[in-house]
Structure 1
Amino acid sequence: MTAAKDRRLALPCVHHLQITRSRIVCRSNLGVSQRMLTHTLRQLQEDGLITRTAYAEVPPRVEYALAPLGRGLHEIVMRLIGWAAAHYHEIRAYRAQAGTTLSSSRS
């Protein structure tokens, strides 16, 4: 999984869980290593999309939440996901048609 794809997955996940520990986020994004998740969360924080709060507790605890900038982006991302879900079958039909056309033109 690429870093860019991890970031696309992390933003909706952080919003869905509101404030969460990175282990919970990691479990909800199957296939994302703890190292890549930490890197992705740092990048999102540097971009101003999420906030990070560290607590001096034993064991250590860190919480993440969407920043105002991240909430605005989240609305856009969720609308895009909704559009893709609503048009899924139509897109698959076009892909199937294009695959058939490409196969016959290569012959």
Structure 2
Amino acid sequence: MPELEEVIDQLWLHNTFAEDPWTVDRAFAAIRDDGEIAIDGLIWALGHKDVGLKLLALRLLREFGEEAKRALQAVEKCLLDGNRLVRIAAGETVRLMQKFADQV
């Protein structure tokens, strides 16, 4: 079982890549099998001050789908973030997470 620190290291690693269409795919491939620890790492990233890390975490939570629903409170806090891009991404993520909840 991976440790939370390993997931956090993967998030930082993928955050350093220049933005390209494959960034989220590579990051998701690196943490998708880490289960609850991956979601814990993404929740941690949402509370971090680094905007790039928050944006990556929000995009990755969408990839996890219904598994990510326990991160909803942390995502909703991002709706009040000082950065406009974070607020927009958080809004998109909340809408998607609510859509998953409605399907259940």
TM-score by length of 1: 0.38
Larger gyration radius, structure 1 or structure 2: 1
Name whichever structure is richer in helix by fraction. Answer: 2
Name whichever structure is richer in strand by fraction. Answer: 1
TM-score by length of 2: 0.38
